[in-house]
Amino acid sequence: MRCALALALAVWAGPLAAQDGVACLQNQLAALGHYPGPADGTMRPSVRAAAAQVDQVPGLPDLRRRTATSWCREIGRTNPDMRAFWPSEQDPLILTEAPADADLLRATLDRVRAYFRDSHDIELATAVAVIGSADPATFDPAIARVNAAQQRPGRAKPVDTTRFCPERGVGGAANRAYVMFCWSDTIAQGGWSPEDTARLAKVMAHEYTHQVQYALAADDPAQKVDGAWALGPHWMVEGVAELVEWQFDSDRILADGPALFDLQTAARRSRLTLDQLSAHGTVRDSEAYGVARFAAYLLAQRHGMAALFDYFRALGRGMDQAQAFQATFDQSPAAYAALFETLRRDYGAARRFGREDR
- The tens digit of pLDDT for each residue in 221-237 reads 888 877 778 899 999 99
Between CA 97 and CA 100, with CA 98 as vertex, the angle to 5 degrees is 150
155 contacts 140 by C-beta, under 8 angstroms: yes
The amino acid at residue 193 is S
3 state DSSP class of 294: helix
240 to each of 174, 209, 296, how far by Cα in Å?
14, 8, 6
The amino acid at residue 117 is R
262 contacts 252 by C-beta, under 8 angstroms: no
Q: How many CA atoms lie less than 13 Å away from 231 in the CB half-sphere?
A: 24
Neighbouring CB atoms inside 10 A of 231's CB total 24
Calpha distance 242→185 (Å, rounded):
25
Closest CA to 140 of 122, 167, 127, 158: 158
Kind and range of the H or E run holding 204: helix 194-216
The predicted structure's pLDDT at residue 252: 77
Q: Is the dihedral of CA 13, 17, 21, 27 positive or negative?
A: negative
157 contacts 190 by C-beta, under 8 angstroms: no
| pLDDT tens for the chain, residues 1 to 358 | 333 344 356 666 655 554 589 999 999 999 999 999 999 999 999 999 999 998 877 778 889 988 999 999 999 999 999 999 999 998 999 999 999 999 999 999 999 999 999 999 999 999 899 999 999 999 999 999 999 888 888 888 999 999 999 999 999 999 998 999 999 999 999 999 999 999 999 999 999 999 999 999 998 888 887 777 889 999 999 999 999 999 998 877 777 788 999 999 999 999 899 999 988 767 778 889 999 999 999 999 999 999 999 999 999 998 999 999 999 999 999 999 999 999 999 999 999 998 865 4
The predicted structure's pLDDT at residue 221: 80
Give alpha helix (H) positions in 79-123.
Answer: 99-120
Q: What DSSP character marks residue 323? A: H
The predicted structure's pLDDT at residue 283: 77
- The tens digit of pLDDT for each residue in 269-312 reads 998 999 999 887 677 788 899 999 999 999 999 999 999 999 99
97 contacts 5 by C-beta, under 8 angstroms: yes
The predicted structure's pLDDT at residue 19: 54
332 contacts 322 by C-beta, under 8 angstroms: yes
168 contacts 33 by C-beta, under 8 angstroms: no
The predicted structure's pLDDT at residue 5: 40
The predicted structure's pLDDT at residue 12: 61
Neighbouring CB atoms inside 10 A of 211's CB total 25
3 state DSSP class of 194: helix
Long-range contacts: 197-200, Cβ < 8 Å, 24+?
197/104, 197/108, 198/249, 199/169, 199/170, 200/104, 200/108, 200/170
Crossing angle between the packed helical segments 333-343 and 286-303, to the nearest 10 degrees: 110
192 to each of 99, 195, 231, 297, 338, how far by Cα in Å?
13, 8, 35, 31, 44
